[in-house]
Structure 1
Amino acid sequence: MDLAALTVFRAVVRENGVTRAAAKLNRVQSNVTTRIKQLEAQLGTPLFVRDGRRLVLTPAGETLLPYAERLLALADEARQALCDDRPHGRLALGTMESTAASRLPARLARYHRRWPEVALELTTGTTGCLIERLRKFEIDAALVARPPEADSLEEAFETMTVFREELVMLTPRDHRPIRVASDIALDTLVAFERGCTYRAHIEQWYTAHGIRPARVLELGSYHAMVACVAAGAGVAVAPRSVFEVLPRGATDVALHPLKELGLIDTLLVWRRGQCSAALRALGGMLVEAPDAPDASGALIADKSDAGGPSRRQAPAPTPN
């Protein structure tokens, strides 16, 4: 029982006959008659009886009609849902903890106000963990740090640059200034588990300077890392933006710029060819200033790995 046959059946009922139904559907009468006969054969029961010059529904036809109406209405709803560019539905987003703490609160609050029909689910993890979850279809998109060396992201995913972070080294307040790597007085690195791109960047930086931490103390949050650094347990690396959102005066740490590392891009990453309207709207929201006024437009972004993000304002976004 296909939708085309049900459309013909409904038209015959609504138009009170084959002739008018054929005109309505822009078909020849013989085609309409054939489709009705095929449907009756498939169902194993007549759907119409002839009363003089008009067709009357049989009990089976009466039973089928409401089902046909519901099936055709559901098909229309499905088509509209797939074609509708207005952000809606579920969007599962993974993000690094640093980004969730420093960059997302104001932007996500504005996103919820602007697109209340989107059910946004947020989870945190390291870049490596988030990429793996993205590969397994457990999340729809992720905010990750660009790795120090190019990997397979180009092949499997599309990306756009949404933030740029300055990495700084955190030390106890009384630590001497760090101008070169040998100025680091503590031999413990406080960091997230392996898979953290910021950890990979700083370990590469250590190696480039011919040194290595004697041990790595792995912790699961920046608050815990800052507390350990303040207590003299070691040094850590974090985006400056994370430190700036911590309570003023609540930590006893010093920040040291690591200019050799430059700025580290934060990428919005999604599976190639699977960018929904909700995700496109999120991409536009992320590159806006946190205190930007609400607007109805959304940004369309192409891959950014080759020379930065390409984006334009669009009142009716279309998939990349």
Structure 2
Amino acid sequence: MDLTQLEVFRAIAEEGSVTAAAGKLHRVPSNISTRLRQLEDELGTALFSREKLRLHITDAGRTLLDYANRILALTEEARLQVSSQHPAGVFTLGAIESTAAVRLPPLIARYHQAWPEVELDLSTGPSGAMTDGLLAGEFSAVFIDGPPKHPQLEGIPVFNEEMVLISSLNHPPVTCAREISGATIYAFRANCSYRRLFENWFARENASPGKIFEMESYHGILACVSAGAGLALIPKSMLESMPGRDSVSAWPLSDSMGELAIWLVWRKGSGSANLRAMVKMLEAVQE
């Protein structure tokens, strides 16, 4: 049973004859008759009783007609949602945690006010997981540090970010990686781009971190650092939003290595109305 069969069946039920249904659907009567016969054979029951040139719907036909009307209505609704130039339906976004916590709340609020028919679905995680999810089709777009390196992805820079090294208040000033070579570090999992930046900073200055403890939240990292248990690298905007920001000292990375951009990234060729509306809103914010 396919949509064409249901459309034919409904037209016959509405018009009362094969000839009239054929005219409505711009098909030849023989095609309409064949479609109806195939549907009845598949269901194993008569959908119409024949009386001369007229067809009268049976009880089984009335039951199917109710389902057919609902199925065809949902199909049309889905077609309009997917092909519409007006933002609507589900819009799945991924974002690294710091961007989701600090940058996105006002943006999402404005987007929802402008396009209330869009159902925003936001997930957070390390940049590597967000990129993998985008490539796997789990997200419509993601906010990660860019630019994107995969050939199937494209995007635009949307936020400037600065990473800062945080230490306990009694820690000496940090001006280069060599000064803290061997120090205990707190960071997210290995697929976090901020962690890779931290490790590259050490490597660039022929230094290396000591033990790296993996944490799941910035609040946990901040608590450990403020207690003097080690050092960490976090976005300056994230630090400034946290209640415990005055319990640590913050130091910029040498050679401006901590300066980066957050990008909105999507698969090449994606051009949904929801994505276009988000891009337009971000471009307006930057002006």
Paired position in structure 2 for 1:14: 14
Q: Could you say which structure has the higher helix fraction?
A: 2
Deviations 1:128-152 (A, max 9, x none): 33334445555554322238xx85x
Aligned equivalents of 2:58, 2:184: Cα separation in 1: 84
Paired position in structure 1 for 2:192: 196
1:74 aligned partner, one-letter code: L
Aligned equivalents of 1:117, 1:193: Cα separation in 2: 36
Q: Once structures 1 and 2 are overlaid, which stretch shifts more, 223-232 or 195-204?
A: 223-232
Contact 1:169 1:258 in 2 (8 A): no
1:84 aligned partner, one-letter code: S
| Cα distance change on mapping 1:177 and 1:47 into 2, 3 Å | same
Aligned equivalents of 2:250, 2:37: Cα separation in 1: 83
Contact 1:186 1:235 in 2 (8 A): no
Deviations 1:162-183 (A, max 9, x none): 2231222223445555444445
Aligned equivalents of 1:216, 1:68: Cα separation in 2: 60
| Cα distance change on mapping 1:36 and 1:206 into 2, 3 Å | closer
Deviations 1:36-88 (A, max 9, x none): 4454455453624225x544334554444334333333332332233234444
Contact 1:168 1:258 in 2 (8 A): no
Paired position in structure 2 for 1:94: 94
| Cα distance change on mapping 1:264 and 1:16 into 2, 3 Å | same
1:154 aligned partner, one-letter code: P
Aligned length: 286
2:151 aligned partner, one-letter code: E
Paired position in structure 1 for 2:231: 235
Paired position in structure 1 for 2:57: 57
Paired position in structure 1 for 2:83: 83
Contact 1:177 1:183 in 2 (8 A): no
Paired position in structure 1 for 2:124: 124
Contact 2:177 2:202 in 1 (8 A): yes
Paired position in structure 2 for 1:45: 46
Contact 1:145 1:264 in 2 (8 A): yes
Using the size of structure 2 for normalisation, the TM-score is: 0.78
Paired position in structure 2 for 1:310: none
Paired position in structure 2 for 1:305: none
Contact 1:159 1:269 in 2 (8 A): yes
Shift of 1:103: 1.0
CA root-mean-square deviation = 3.6
Using the size of structure 1 for normalisation, the TM-score is: 0.71
Partner SS state of residue 24, structure 2: helix
Contact 1:86 1:277 in 2 (8 A): yes
Segments of structure 1 that go 5 or more residues without pairing to the other structure are: 293-320
Between the aligned residues of both structures, percent identity stands at: 42
Partner SS state of residue 45, structure 1: coil
Segments of structure 2 that go 5 or more residues without pairing to the other structure are: none
Contact 1:111 1:282 in 2 (8 A): yes
Q: 1:166 aligns with which of 137, 159, 162?
A: 162
Q: Once structures 1 and 2 are overlaid, which stretch shifts more, 188-197 or 31-40?
A: 31-40
Paired position in structure 2 for 1:254: 250
Aligned equivalents of 2:103, 2:73: Cα separation in 1: 42
Paired position in structure 2 for 1:112: 112
